[in-house]
Amino acid sequence: MTTLGKHSKAYPLKRFREFAGWKENLNNARKVKQEVNGAVVEVPRELDESDYLYLHENFNVTDGIFYDENIIFSDVTPAWIDFCENVLGVKFPDDESGENNGHLEG
């Protein structure tokens, strides 16, 4: 079952590619229908630098608003979190009340 996260922020793919440890799984991109040898099939869409992807509160990046499908990047490390916070400037609320407690806020 797909799950919509509480918080996410969209960025163009080129911003994520600035991270030295970025490894994208483009096979997980959302599917599009294409004609291949006369048959209509679903294939992962081709992403370019200007396509927007979603950074979620668990620091995974997806091709869509659901945090548990179409995962393009999931190698969450302290360096990745630091990049998200200090280069991208992302901040997510810490709790249900939306209070920040000195952490991420977006």
Q: Walk across the sheet containing 52-56 and list its strands.
A: 8-12, 52-56, 61-62, 71-73
Tens digit of each residue's pLDDT (9 = 90 or more) over 10-59: 999 999 999 999 999 999 999 999 898 899 999 889 999 999 999 999 99
Quick one: pLDDT at residue 52?
A: 97
Strand ranges for the chain from DSSP E? 8-12, 31-36, 39-44, 52-56, 61-62, 71-73
> What's the pTM?
0.80
